[in-house]
A and B are shown apart, each in its own frame.
Chain A
Amino acid sequence: MNISLQSLSVRYGPRVVLHQIDLCAQPGRVLGIVGPNGSGKSTLVKAVAGQVKASGQLLFNGQAQWPTAIGYMPQDQLALAALSVLEVVLLGRLRQLRLKVQPDDLAAVRRLLQRLGIEDLAGRDVRQLSGGQRQMVFLAQALVAEPRVLLLDEPISALDICHQLEVLEVVRQTTRQQGLTTLLVLHDLNAAARFCDDVALLKDGQLLACGSPAQVLTVAHVANAFGVETEALRCLDGTGVLVPKRAIGATSKMENAIKNIAVCPM
């Protein structure tokens, strides 16, 4: 499903959070959304999910009608309900659930938990899971309804590197195999470079750059958006990585702070 944003703007009261965003996401491709804190990444995903009011145009396959098959995983991972993992994942199919759970629903949950390697968590109380396990469970919830559009807001923020790789690989594979249109908010620029087909870079609610990871995640763009000096290195396997060196403009402040600590009388 093609998703097209044309001059999309979002305001929270008088504050403009997203300003005139033009962006296009295509089926079978992962579009990474990156940018510093407060740049509007989550708001952009919320707007596509229909969770915040936006002005401008938001079209799904050329229609201004939201499709029902959207899998959305919000950033908030709090879960205070006395529910089992099975019950939480089942809720992902809420639109088709009947009072009595149908075999199809149960089979879909089983397949997905097996695929994510968390089948043994099925009976666990969701409140007793670690942050990383909870993130896997909510990813399963977003995927279980077999959506056409997948919106993931920082799905790997609480995961160790092994699980980060597993989750991102599952997202990429599912997107390609099932022709999903995936928007993936990430903080890790190297993960975005490796797992996203396209990347959109936001700063202060505006789209700074959009294109392939190689076009967007450049030293100049990162310096402009994040205020961080980086070095682009090439690994032995040919993949590139950005290594942050120092925060531009913060150096003198840091040095002063260190000097002050050094002369501080005990």
Chain B
Amino acid sequence: MSAVLPNTLPLDAVSAEFRRGAARRTLVLLVTLGLLLLGLLLDAATGPAMLPVGEVARAVFGYPTDSSVQAIVWSIRLPVALMALAVGAALGLSGAIMQTILNNPLASSYTLGISAGAGFGASLVIVLGLSLPVADNYAIAANAMLFAGVACAGVYWIGGARNASAEGLVLAGIALLFLFQALSSLLQMVASPESLQQVVFWLFGSLQKSTWPKLGVMLTVLVVCVPWLARDVWGLTALKLGDARAAALGVNVSALRIRSFVLISALTGVAVAFVGTIGFVGLVAPHLARMLIGEDQRGFLPASGLLGALLLSLASVASKTISPGAIFPIGIVTSLIGVPFFIWMVLHNRKSYW
């Protein structure tokens, strides 16, 4: 900022507000990053064998430590802990984009059928063996991604029949949520007991099958999507003022929505593909970000991603500590924590944050 505004001049209201906004964004992002690191270490330390956080930190940062700790952390705990961060970030980001482009605080991949679409795609593989021609290990993931894309395209196509208004898209999303849930239930009716158990477990969400290669795919998608998103931050901020005003400012609203849906389908598809359906992270993280730094998307989007990562990391810790020795499905934990938290936000903040 000092390059923009010389320090020697007295600050006018505009410059003061500019500095204040930038400082607030930086503070929130740095504090969240610090908490993320803490969450990562806690998550890696928690499990059937509880490890001292200090030892875990030494193992993570490459300092000499006990070889068994080193092995547990690097082979088992870190892929799961990092996957929690990456998936949380993807869900937080996609929820934030969705709430922005649909101008609706209840929008998220989970509430508008994108996750349900991915769940149906996964169920098709598990129950009927219908999948894309890919390696068996990735068949469920590929189908989940495909159907997340189908759900996104469906929302856009049905909702967009009348000029792609935000309201039309939300209604289309809700309709598709019910459709995919009904289709998944139909598959569960005809499923064998073994595949039914697998489907239900997958639909609850679980981080425990995370591996380094899967984490690599998840991170690659994030690394590709984030710069793409950075291009559109001002357009997305303008969209918060409504379609007409954004168009008046020179935003091609339809093209921006299509680009955003492609990103949402990639982020949600790959997240749901590897860990199953996880609710509330994509809904709550953007609300927290909005409360902390408003809706200038330069701060709102990264904050939503980081807060999503933090929430899922903490949920992962909780899933391993609620009942010692057992691991609760992460989707159940996020909902159990997320619902009261969301209700508190609604009651506490009334209408001021949406």
Using a CB–CB distance below 8 Å, which chain A residues touch chain B?
49, 51, 68, 72-74, 76, 78-84, 86-88, 91-92, 94-95, 97, 99, 101-103, 106, 109-110, 113-114, 119-120, 122-123, 125, 127, 138, 141
CB-CB under 8 A for A119 and B13, given A82-B353, A86-B18, A92-B249: yes
Query: Do the beta carbons of A51 and B248 come within 8 Å of each other?
Result: yes
Query: Do the beta carbons of A87 and B296 come within 8 Å of each other?
Result: yes
A141 and B241 alpha carbons, distance in the complex (Å): 12
CB-CB under 8 A for A87 and B237, given A99-B298, A101-B18: yes
28 intermolecular pairs with C-beta atoms under 8 Å apart: A73-B248, A74-B244, A76-B242, A76-B244, A78-B242, A80-B240, A81-B240, A81-B241, A82-B290, A83-B237, A83-B240, A83-B294, A86-B14, A86-B18, A87-B21, A88-B241, A91-B237, A92-B249, A94-B249, A99-B230, A99-B233, A101-B18, A106-B4, A110-B14, A113-B13, A114-B12, A123-B20, A125-B294
Using a CB–CB distance below 8 Å, which chain B residues touch chain A?
4-5, 12-18, 20-21, 103, 230, 233-235, 237-238, 240-242, 244-245, 247-251, 290, 294-296, 298, 352-354
A74 and B242 alpha carbons, distance in the complex (Å): 11
- Cβ contacts under 8 Å, B20 to chain A: 123
Question: Apart from A84-B296, A86-B17, A87-B296, what 9 extra A-B contacts exist at CB < 8 Å?
Answer: A78-B242, A79-B242, A84-B17, A87-B237, A91-B249, A95-B250, A106-B18, A114-B12, A123-B16
- Cβ contacts under 8 Å, A110 to chain B: 12, 14-15
- Cβ contacts under 8 Å, B16 to chain A: 122-123
A119 and B249 alpha carbons, distance in the complex (Å): 22
Which of A74, A82, A106, A125 is the most central at the interface, judged by chain B CB atoms within 10 Å of its CB?
A: A82
- Cβ contacts under 8 Å, B250 to chain A: 68, 94-95
A19 and B306 alpha carbons, distance in the complex (Å): 54
B287 to A: closest C-beta gap in Å: 11
Task: Give me the 4 closest cross-chain CB pairs, A-B, nearest first.
Answer: A81-B240, A123-B17, A72-B248, A110-B14
A78 and B20 alpha carbons, distance in the complex (Å): 25
User: Which of B12, B18, B103, B241 is close to A91, meaning CB atoms less than 8 Å apart?
Assistant: B241
B222 to A: closest C-beta gap in Å: 18
CB-CB under 8 A for A122 and B13, given A78-B242, A86-B21, A92-B249: yes
The chain A residue with its CB closest to the CB of B295 is A82
Query: Do the beta carbons of B296 and A119 come within 8 Å of each other?
Result: no
- Cβ contacts under 8 Å, A119 to chain B: 12-14
